[in-house]
Amino acid sequence: MDHGELVNVVDVEATCWEGKRPPGAVSEIIEIGLTVVDLEAGERIGRHRILVRPARSTVSPFCTGLTGLTQAEVDAGLDFAAACRLLAAEHAAGSRPWASWGDYDRKQFAHQCRVTGTEYPFGHRHVNAKAVFTEANTLSRRPGMAQALEIAGLPLEGRHHSGEDDAWNIAALVLRLHGRGAWPARTP
């Protein structure tokens, strides 16, 4: 099957706490949600979830309540370096453009790669879908994903703060923006 321009839409969930972070703990990626979007066909063609085992923190009860993820689930996941290799090998992360809702995901990957000595899996073509949505809708403030879905008249599918479901929902917003001619043209 031949596809047009493919974009990886990525959403990560990370360890988090209510209130102060416990001493010695760091915020680490525990789930990578990835939806592949075919811009030309105007459809979401792949839905993926990679669980990541944290090395320097644990999943708090607050984090489980927010994301639905438990320590036992992420303990069965890949280590961060293996998850990054998987993104590169199976999802063409180094060559395919990618998008996320805001800059948190990009910055979290860059930071975690830097502190763990892991090779950054993505290429340089990143689009902040939240910024594009805000500009396309001439909004004064950048909305969260759930609010953006409401503004766009799209349903929130699945569980909010599930990386897999959020990536799927963000992909719907990307397709809506592309359909309106508001998504950035392909860059080299």
Strands (E), 15-156: 29-38, 43-51, 98-100, 126-128
CA distance 2 to 129: 25
- The low-confidence residues of the chain, meaning pLDDT below 70, are 1-3, 187-188
User: Which pLDDT score is estimated for 187?
Assistant: 53
User: Which pLDDT score is estimated for 186?
Assistant: 72
Task: Tell me which CATH code domain 6-179 carries.
Answer: 3.30.420.10
Query: pTM for this one?
Result: 0.95
User: Which pLDDT score is estimated for 2?
Assistant: 55
Reference 65, options 29, 26, 13, 25; nearest CA is 13
User: Which pLDDT score is estimated for 145?
Assistant: 98
For 98-133, the pLDDT digits (tens) are 999 999 999 999 999 999 999 999 999 999 999 999
User: Which pLDDT score is estimated for 188?
Assistant: 47
> What rounded mean pLDDT belongs to the chain?
95
List the beta bridge partners of residue 7.
37
